[in-house]
């Protein structure tokens, strides 16, 4: 019996033989998707198999078993997070895969229901994220949880408090549950995967799994750094809101301060429904967040209640899933590139194809394990899609089109740039070149050193660095400060004005505060914010170099991972030599407080201050600059060492923690008055 055989043609014996392996496969894929946040197949592959299971069980209802995937909602809540019982189950949604199927669903709903259903639907974008429940008591957020298996979810209260679009306090003293979707914006998804790839960590398959993995962290700081967002769309107890339709409920939630997707629309005919689907099928690539379909809901809320639910899905809503956009192409080459941290990344070079509005001919293969797992070979015909509608990615190899003489691809053992042996570091999937003199790493490091958030050497981009390297003018960042006009005149298209501007920018960078240098050195796990915290704490590069890992880790918001990385970096003898060279060419090694006319004051000197919430009379940066200029240390988290918390509007968990610890708290008006008195 072929799995391609139509369900209507199956005998009961054939159906029974197919059901067991089909259910086991769906359970495996479901666990990867819901519980491990690491799917091995694309959504449409799962959806297609799941739909076949539904059709077989509908034809042979006596073959349905209690543990079938059709009888369960989502995945098990099996993480280390505390469990939450949903008093009202968080159900899944039924799916259709074409406008014709959607029209059939509506026809059946109107013809077969005991409840009169007018053609009055609210259409909403199906956000590619994970379901979220928020519970408020007397207007204050008291609990956030995931859907889990629909009955039992995971407690993510502390994590949701880090999401800016979730109000901590409502403008009305409501005791209600609100439901919606937590998602990761496309831009944040790209940056997260780039950072994980550079650090040798596995990348996320799509924004949905990135959001799920981020929301389910044990450490809220990790969640906060992932830039999650939300759209809320459902209130189980709608009567408490004083609304009668889904559209009114969305507007009421918006008025309460929730983020609500603005692209919903009430439609009254099949033509309007079809037009909406066609509109957002075209627009989906331009949206800043991922969507994988359209959700249709009966607009009248009383009718929703009357229609009720099945064991798994509401009868009043359905999801239209976009068809997958894939193109077949041929892998012609696999290139290996070396990043500034030594991470060696494979990239498939393919015949160009049109995909989601752009021409695509390259796709990252991330790391050797990924390449081997997919078994991608030269000459293979592969299916290409865009993960989360953003990143080109190979879905699978079309094995039946593989050339007869095909051989498994051999992963290199030496660096493509310098020939040094490649290694796997502990807990990494990445392959790394650990040769600090590797040309590729040095060139990437030079570009990073000169970048805006580092030493800010305007005019020193990758192309000029390539020329300087090829001419033998620079071998490390210290050599930048030894460049002379006569040398630069030998570079093509480099006139006297360009030379003067570049040398001036290099000279000016000597006087930067040392946090820019720390960031520019490219120390693992040290971004611009961490570099500033370290510089403000230790006051000089020399003091930081002399500190051990435990001392560095003890700094607010740093922790052991960063502490170990910084200490290990400064233990390297070559780093000591580089710092000595930078000192020799006049690069500043000290922390310079923001330049203002102010000087340290007895009122603020040495105080540890935390800013939280939205400031309306000044920007956060202006407040931080004012405080730093007067000798205060502005940190990002509240601890027993904190002296003062300045709370703006919608201050959340930091305010609560400060109050618990008995730390002094000022509102913005009091801070503004103190600033005026100080000035």
Q: Is the pLDDT of residue 389 over 70?
A: no
pLDDT band for position 659 (50/70/90)? confident
User: Is 126 tagged catalytic?
Assistant: yes
Average pLDDT for residues 382-396, to the nearest whole number?
Answer: 80
Q: Which span out of 205-219, 277-291, 613-627 was modeled with the highest average pLDDT? A: 277-291
Which segments of 203-342 are extended strands (E)? 229-234, 265-267, 291-298, 317-321, 327-338
Q: What is the CA radius of gyration of the chain?
A: 29
274, with CB counted inside 10 A (0-12, 13-18, 19+), is middle
DSSP string, 546-557: H--HHHHHTSTT
**pLDDT (tens digit per residue) in 470-526:** 899 998 899 999 999 999 998 887 888 889 999 999 999 999 999 999 999 988 888
Q: Is the pLDDT of residue 40 over 80?
A: no
User: Which among 12, 28, 83, 126 is annotated as catalytic?
Assistant: 126
Q: Is the pLDDT of residue 152 over 60?
A: yes
pLDDT band for position 408 (50/70/90)? very high
Residue labelled with tokens 């014709």: 100
Q: Is the pLDDT of residue 630 over 70?
A: yes
Q: Is the pLDDT of residue 230 over 60?
A: yes
Report pLDDT for 597: 43
What percentage of the chain exceeds 90 in pLDDT? 40
Q: Is the pLDDT of residue 2 over 50?
A: no
Q: Is the pLDDT of residue 349 over 80?
A: yes
Distance CA 85, CA 177 (A): 13
Q: Of residues 461 and 264, which shows the higher confidence score?
A: 264
Average pLDDT for residues 549-578, to the nearest whole number?
Answer: 88
Q: Which span out of 105-109, 144-148, 295-299, 431-435 was modeled with the highest average pLDDT? A: 295-299
Report pLDDT for 496: 87
Report pLDDT for 276: 96
Report pLDDT for 595: 47
Average pLDDT for residues 299-305, to the nearest whole number?
Answer: 92
Report pLDDT for 357: 64
Q: What is the DSSP letter of 35?
A: I
Average pLDDT for residues 413-433, to the nearest whole number?
Answer: 83
Distance CA 171, CA 333 (A): 58
pLDDT band for position 155 (50/70/90)? very high
What percentage of the chain exceeds 70 in pLDDT? 93
Q: Of residues 631 and 122, which shows the higher confidence score?
A: 122
Report pLDDT for 427: 64
**pLDDT (tens digit per residue) in 178-226:** 999 999 999 889 888 888 877 777 788 788 888 888 888 877 888 888 8
**pLDDT (tens digit per residue) in 527-542:** 888 898 999 999 999 9
Report pLDDT for 3: 43
In order of their start, the domains of the chain are 7-71 (1.10.287.610), 83-321 (3.30.470.30), 327-423 (2.40.50.140), 439-584 (1.10.150.20), 608-678 (3.40.50.10190)
Q: Which span out of 77-86, 140-149, 627-636, 637-646 was modeled with the highest average pLDDT? A: 140-149
Average pLDDT, the chain: 86
Report pLDDT for 36: 61
Of residues 1, 33, 6, 30, the one with CA closest to residue 18: 1
Q: Is the pLDDT of residue 78 over 60?
A: no
Average pLDDT for residues 624-628, to the nearest whole number?
Answer: 81
Q: Is the pLDDT of residue 119 over 80?
A: no
Q: What 3 state SS string does 109-166 have?
A: HHHHCCCCCCCCEEEEEEECCEEEEEEEECCEEEEEEECCCCCEEEECHHHHCCCCCC
pLDDT band for position 175 (50/70/90)? very high
Q: Is the pLDDT of residue 324 over 80?
A: no
Q: Of residues 378 and 638, which shows the higher confidence score?
A: 378
Q: For the chain, how many residues are written?
A: 679
Distance CA 571, CA 41 (A): 44
What distance lies between CA 334 and its chain's CA centroid? 27
Average pLDDT for residues 124-153, to the nearest whole number?
Answer: 93
Burial 564-596 (b: 16+ CB within 10 A, else e): bbbbebbeeeebeebbebbeeeebbbebebeee
Report pLDDT for 73: 56
- The tokens describing 639, both together, are 């601890």
Residue labelled with tokens 């990790």: 222
pLDDT band for position 77 (50/70/90)? very low
pLDDT band for position 45 (50/70/90)? confident
* Least trusted range by pLDDT, from 42-51, 163-172, 342-351, 645-654: 42-51
Contact 290, 212 (CB under 8 A): no
- The tokens describing 625, both together, are 């600059």
Report pLDDT for 438: 86
Residues 6+ apart with CB under 8 A from 544: 518, 534, 535, 538, 552, 566, 570
């Amino acid at each position: 019996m072929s799995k391609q055989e139509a369900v209507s043609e199956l005998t009961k014996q054939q159906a029974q033989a197919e059901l067991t392996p089909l259910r086991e496969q769906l359970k495996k894929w479901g666990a990867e998707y819901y519980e491990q946040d690491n799917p091995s197949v694309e959504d449409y592959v799962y959806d297609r198999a799941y739909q076949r299971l539904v059709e077989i069980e509908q034809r042979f209802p006596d073959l349905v078993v209690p543990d079938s995937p059709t009888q369960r909602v989502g995945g098990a809540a099996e993480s280390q997070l505390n469990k939450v019982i949903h008093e009202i189950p968080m159900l899944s949604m039924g799916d259709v895969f074409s406008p014709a199927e959607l029209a059939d669903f509506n026809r059946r709903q109107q013809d077969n229901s005991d409840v009169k259903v007018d053609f009055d639907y609210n259409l909403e974008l199906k956000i590619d994220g994970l379901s979220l429940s928020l519970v408020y008591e007397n207007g204050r957020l008291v609990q956030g949880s995931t859907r889990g298996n629909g009955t039992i979810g995971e407690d993510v209260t502390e994590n949701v408090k880090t999401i800016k679009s979730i109000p901590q306090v409502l403008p009305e003293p409501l005791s209600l549950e609100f439901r919606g979707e937590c998602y990761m914006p496309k831009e944040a998804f790209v940056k997260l995967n780039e950072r994980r790839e550079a650090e040798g960590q596995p990348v996320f398959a799509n924004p949905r799994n990135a959001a799920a993995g981020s929301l389910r962290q044990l450490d809220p700081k990790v969640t906060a750094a992932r830039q999650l967002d939300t759209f809320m769309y459902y209130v189980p107890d709608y009567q408490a809101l004083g609304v009668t339709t889904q559209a009114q409920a969305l507007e009421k939630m918006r008025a309460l301060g929730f983020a609500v997707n603005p692209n919903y629309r009430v439609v009254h005919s099949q033509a309007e429904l079809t037009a909406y689907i066609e509109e957002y099928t075209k627009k989906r690539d331009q949206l800043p967040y991922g969507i994988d379909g359209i959700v249709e809901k009966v607009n009248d809320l009383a009718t929703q209640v009357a229609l009720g639910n099945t064991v798994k899905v509401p009868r009043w809503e359905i999801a239209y899933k976009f068809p997958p956009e894939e193109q077949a192409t041929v892998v012609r080459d696999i290139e290996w590139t070396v990043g500034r941290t030594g991470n060696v990344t494979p990239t498939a070079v393919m015949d160009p194809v049109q995909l989601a509005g752009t021409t695509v001919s390259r796709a990252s293969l991330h790391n050797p394990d990924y390449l081997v797992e997919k078994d991608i070979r030269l000459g293979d015909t592969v299916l290409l899609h865009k993960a989360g509608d953003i990143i080109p990615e190979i879905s699978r190899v079309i094995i039946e089109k593989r050339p007869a003489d095909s051989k498994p691809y051999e992963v290199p053992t030496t660096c493509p740039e310098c020939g040094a042996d490649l290694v796997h570091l502990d807990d990494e999937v990445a392959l790394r070149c650990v040769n600090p003199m590797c040309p590729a790493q040095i060139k990437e490091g030079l570009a990073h050193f000169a970048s805006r958030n580092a030493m800010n050497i305007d005019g020193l981009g990758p192309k000029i660095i390539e020329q300087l390297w090829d001419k033998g003018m620079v071998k490390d960042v210290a050599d930048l400060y030894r460049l002379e006009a006569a040398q630069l005149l030998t570079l093509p298209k480099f006139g006297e004005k360009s030379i003067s501007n570049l040398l001036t920018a290099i000279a000016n960078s000597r006087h930067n505060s040392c946090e820019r240098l720390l960031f520019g050195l490219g120390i693992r796990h040290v971004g611009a914010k961490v570099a500033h915290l370290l510089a403000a704490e230790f006051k000089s590069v020399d003091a930081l170099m002399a500190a051990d890992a435990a001392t560095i880790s003890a700094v607010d918001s740093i922790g052991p991972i960063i502490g170990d990385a910084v200490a290990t970096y400064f233990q390297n003898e070559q780093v000591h030599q580089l710092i000595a060279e930078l000192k020799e060419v006049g690069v500043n090694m000290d922390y310079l407080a923001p330049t203002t006319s102010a000087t340290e004051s007895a009122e603020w000197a040495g105080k540890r201050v935390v800013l939280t919430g939205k400031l309306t009379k000044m920007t956060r940066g202006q407040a931080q600059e004012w405080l730093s200029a007067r000798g205060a240390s502005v940190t990002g988290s509240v601890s027993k060492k904190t002296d003062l918390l300045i709370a703006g509007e919608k201050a959340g968990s930091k305010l609560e923690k400060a109050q618990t610890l008995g730390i002094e708290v000022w509102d913005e008006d009091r801070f503004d008055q103190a600033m005026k008195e100080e000035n």
